[in-house]
Amino acid sequence: AQSVTQLDSQVPVFEEAPVELRCNYSSSVSVYLFWYVQYPNQGLQLLLKYLSGSTLVKGINGFEAEFNKSQTSFHLRKPSVHISDTAEYFCAVSPNDYKLSFGAGTTVTVRA
Amino acid sequence: DTEVTQTPKHLVMGMTNKKSLKCEQHMGHRAMYWYKQKAKKPPELMFVYSYEKLSINESVPSRFSPECPNSSLLNLHLHALQPEDSALYLCASSQVMGPTEAFFGQGTRLTVV
């Protein structure tokens, strides 16, 4: 079985400041890891994914994440946020089957 | 074309109504999914279709009935819903059923009155 813990439910941040969203997972098998973003009244959009290879993953909109197997973490970062980054962010894991398991989500609010 | 298109965007229905949600993708994906998302919660998987056959039903009540007429289309038929079924219903697709990225539609906001 696998589970995902997003350690921060809400993250307020000022425009042009850096942001880090923390995600830890537990799994007894190898997993694939994803970050999705959901803007208000929208569906989910894939930001980035880790399937294998380099542990530093770059995604869209200037986001990146680092896979740390020993700490079972997959934290998301952006060096400088914009107002348009205000959204809900979901970390998700998928072991070697069909099911995406989502974390509870982190609400990012960017203020001017 | 990397879009998953859902219609309608909004739906209000009474508890005795029958309605359908529609989902379409033209990416050649062979796995399609229905998720339910309540406010401020992550999506919850309902159904998975793989190669147009129902592969997974996550113990969803029978008032929700999925259908996959062909490889590009996925429907969710609704009948005798309850107010607690009000939610955002998301359709997604992936190349195959498995640990690969899923593409999501914009969702249908359903309100049951």
CB B77 within 8 A of CB B67: yes
Task: Identify the DSSP state of B41.
Answer: S
Distance in Å, alpha carbon of A41 to nearest chain B alpha carbon: 8
For A77, list phi and psi in degrees, rounded to 5. -135, 155
Contacts with A95 from chain B: Cβ below 8 Å: 99
Kindly state whether B77 is in contact with chain A, defined as any CB-CB distance less than 8 angstroms. Answer: no
Q: What is the pLDDT of residues B30-41, one digit of tens each?
A: 999 999 999 989
B84 class by beta-carbon count within 10 Å (0-12 exposed, 13-18 middle, 19+ buried):
exposed
Contact B101 A34 (CB under 8 A): yes
Q: Which amino acid does the sequence have at A18?
A: P
Residue B9's region, left for phi above 0, alpha for psi from -120 to 50, else beta, is alpha
Q: What is the pLDDT of residues A15-57, one digit of tens each?
A: 999 999 999 998 767 788 999 999 988 899 999 999 888 899 9
Kindly state whether B90 is in contact with chain A, defined as any CB-CB distance less than 8 angstroms. Answer: yes
Q: List the pLDDT tens digit at each of the 113 positions of chain B.
A: 669 999 999 999 999 999 999 999 999 999 999 999 999 899 999 999 999 999 999 999 999 999 999 999 999 999 999 999 999 999 999 998 877 888 999 999 999 99
Contacts with B100 from chain A: Cβ below 8 Å: 32, 51, 94
Choose among B2, B45, B40, B46: nearest CA to B24. B2
